[in-house]
Chain A
């Protein structure tokens, strides 16, 4: 018997494809604009292709939310099941609004949730919901679990440079503090859908140390994802270092190209789900 509740998200959740397939999660791709052409994230362009093209781009890459139609198509594909769509923070993007408008055509059968997060901060909410749905949970139980995870998830990142974030226009309050020095690596947190400064350091080593210190301050963890943009070796090392702190082995995730376009290569992020 298929689950009574189906889970939908957008590509910004950074959910590894295998996990999405395993739980039959519908993923609506965001759009990546490179020098005037639009690509569906993860469909028309891979991360590897993106990084290969990044240095040769004439204009900085930009992103666009999927259309309401894109969401409608995925919702429709869920058949008669109730749908929970967990989307990128509404304060950061128009993705949530596109999903909300799409849901209006389904007469209450689709519940759209603002994850107030991004990447695996959003992804852990999606996965917990999908696991519950797979286990046969009803709509209210699934929504309870999403709310619980949303309350317990923390997403932070160490950026290699502030340049991409500044260009993205997503953190105006942050960039004013970056100053005249060229080598400044901001530490940021996404909380309640907003980017906020956690600190500033000047070397990658201190950035890692600082991330570790922030994670250690959270206490025991249920789950942990190490998200990176073209920094696999560093991410794996960080995952190994932090493994003892989480109940499950940490997941290493390469962020989507769109996220990479906003934070730049060399970023290390941590999406931690605290035990309570």
Chain B
């Protein structure tokens, strides 16, 4: 990930002077606090990722919040601005544009409210901080259609309330360091209470991830003021290579980085790490090695022709446990705007004045289907790589018409889409599609020359008429809604709710079909994932046809990562 903050800023964080009292904070102070918050979140974001309720690869909250904070900090990085409100507004703007996932969007609203609360102040003291936290809280609540307690919202509310009470209770209390300590304590307590407010969290045995992320930001600021280290995580663990890392690597992909190989292996005897690094460097680039409980994870980008070499190397050194390979060039084609090559998506050519659909798609095959049904722009992203508000905003801006419908196609992307819709002068409607099949059902109702509201209404009506099945691999052991799941098992979701689990992929698909009452429907459309072979998918479809003779079964290569199958029943 990005350990690329400049050394000067890092030093400035470490060299914070322990003044006895800190009555005011100016722009530079807020700059440093923000960097500290970012670093602390970066250090701990994987622990936040681990807090997802459903053990499925689904919009990692820690990564989303981290990417949001990185975008926020980019706006003030290296700035010597002393005016605190200018710095806050820059942070808010960056967060707004970079917001990813639900928690990222709410976090960006918190920054927006905070910046507004500061008005155009040169610096803030305790009173102004209390006021700004209050407006941050209000803005966060207003940014959510149906605020739910037991989430990041509750945590910002408790922070704001605790700050207000601290200042009201002790009028002499003017030290920002102490006030921040009060806030951080309130945040931690609020996070700890979230399972009581949200039964799903309690059932899963976790606290709310977004709330935890926010608490970490305050902790980071406090650690900075206390001159505590920020780069040592609370929990050391094997480095899971999340999609954000792949995304970042993709952006930097150079010649020679055609494929990505990630493999886990257990070495025989003691592993000499410098030798391992040296040998990997001879094979490829972007090398990362993680370690945990005797297991090593290797990540490397290399030429297609060399993609088996890391396996051979690992086998020479020990036992290979797991291998994951990905064609980065294929992903690039998916990510980048079509350049007119053979692989270009058949995107709909929209004329000015017509309706354009901007759709989020997690895989190349799905992008093709969406494009063929009339999507004018595809934003790459999905379960674990939620696109930012900026990504969606850019796509909205790029279509040559001012009437746009956005299909987020994932429940964690809806907020970013709504936020993007609010930031453009174009007429934009977000049809809140929670899954890819819902997006496709909505897309069928596109009438390019139709009335925006009418088409939006037709699309929204269509959502209820399609049911979604998704099958993925559990990222940890859990007990959800009475279903006991082991890490690595296949899990099936019906309309995003976990309903089936098992060791055999086909069995989970069939269990899910039964749960969805497939026998009472006409059509099943399967989109198989990047890690499923066409042969395996065809065999699975044949099995479904045998079991459900009245069901028409359609099979497409979806190309999505992590989700072996996404399918619709209608």
Contacts and interface: CB of A to CB of B under 8 A. Distances in A.
B374 A180 contact: no
Interface stretch (B98-106, B280-288, B365-373, B534-542): B365-373
Nearest to A181: B369
B254 interface: no
Contacts of A178: 372
Given A202-B444, A206-B465, A179 B369 contact: yes
B251 interface: no
B556 A202 contact: no
Contacts of A199: 444-445, 447, 458
Given A177-B373, A179-B373, A180-B372, A203 B523 contact: yes
Nearest to B522: A203
Contact of B523 (A179, A180, A200, A202): A202
User: Which interface residue of A180, A182, A197, A204 has the most chain B CB atoms within 10 A?
Assistant: A180
A78 interface: no
A203 B523 CA distance: 7
A200 B444 contact: yes
Nearest to B461: A213
Given A177-B374, A180-B372, A203 B554 contact: no
B372 A179 contact: yes
B570 A206 contact: yes
Nearest to B524: A183
Contacts of A183: 523, 525, 552, 554
Contacts of B554: 181-183
A49 interface: no
B207 to A, nearest CB: 41
Nearest to B444: A200
A177 B409 CA distance: 20
A205 interface: yes
Nearest to B365: A180
B480 to A, nearest CB: 31
A202 to B, nearest CB: 6
Contacts, number: 48
Contact of B522 (A181, A197, A200, A205): A205
A202 B462 CA distance: 11
B522 A201 contact: no
Contacts of B552: 183
A197 B440 CA distance: 18
B522 to A, nearest CB: 4
Q: Do most interface residues of chain A lie in helix, strand or loop, or is the interface mixed?
A: loop
Interface in B502-533: 521-523, 525
Nearest to A206: B465
In this complex, the interface size class of chain A, counting residues with CB under 8 Å from chain B, is 10 to 19
Nearest to A197: B447
B391 to A, nearest CB: 24
A197 B523 CA distance: 22
B306 to A, nearest CB: 34
Given A205-B522, A206-B570, A180 B556 contact: yes
Nearest to A204: B522
B7 to A, nearest CB: 51
Interface in B398-421: none
A177 B357 CA distance: 13
Interface in A226-266: none
Given A203-B522, A203-B523, A206-B465, A180 B444 contact: no
Given A183-B523, A183-B554, A200 B372 contact: no
Interface string A163-183: 000000000000001111111
User: Which interface residue of B368, B441, B444, B552 has the most chain A CB atoms within 10 A?
Assistant: B444
A177 B373 CA distance: 6
Contact of B368 (A177, A180, A182, A197): A180
Contacts of B446: 177
A197 to B, nearest CB: 7
Contacts of B440: 181
A201 B440 CA distance: 11
A267 to B, nearest CB: 17
Nearest to B446: A177
Contacts of A203: 521-523, 570
Interface string B436-471: 000011001111000000000010000001000000
Contact of A200 (B369, B445, B521): B445
Contacts of A177: 373-374, 446
A197 B433 CA distance: 24
Contacts of B374: 177, 179
A201 B373 CA distance: 12
A181 B444 CA distance: 11
B570 A202 contact: yes
B525 A181 contact: yes
Contacts of A204: 522
B463 to A, nearest CB: 13
B261 to A, nearest CB: 31
User: Which interface residue of B372, B521, B525, B554 has the most chain A CB atoms within 10 A?
Assistant: B372
A192 to B, nearest CB: 15
A130 to B, nearest CB: 37
Contacts of B521: 203
B328 to A, nearest CB: 24
A77 to B, nearest CB: 46
Interface of A: 177-184, 197, 199-206
Interface of B: 368-369, 372-374, 440-441, 444-447, 458, 465, 521-523, 525, 552, 554, 556, 570
Given A181-B372, A200-B445, 13 more contacts: A177-B374, A180-B372, A180-B556, A182-B554, A183-B523, A184-B444, A199-B444, A200-B373, A202-B570, A203-B570, A204-B522, A205-B522, A206-B465
8 contacts: A177-B374, A181-B373, A184-B444, A199-B444, A199-B445, A199-B447, A200-B445, A206-B465
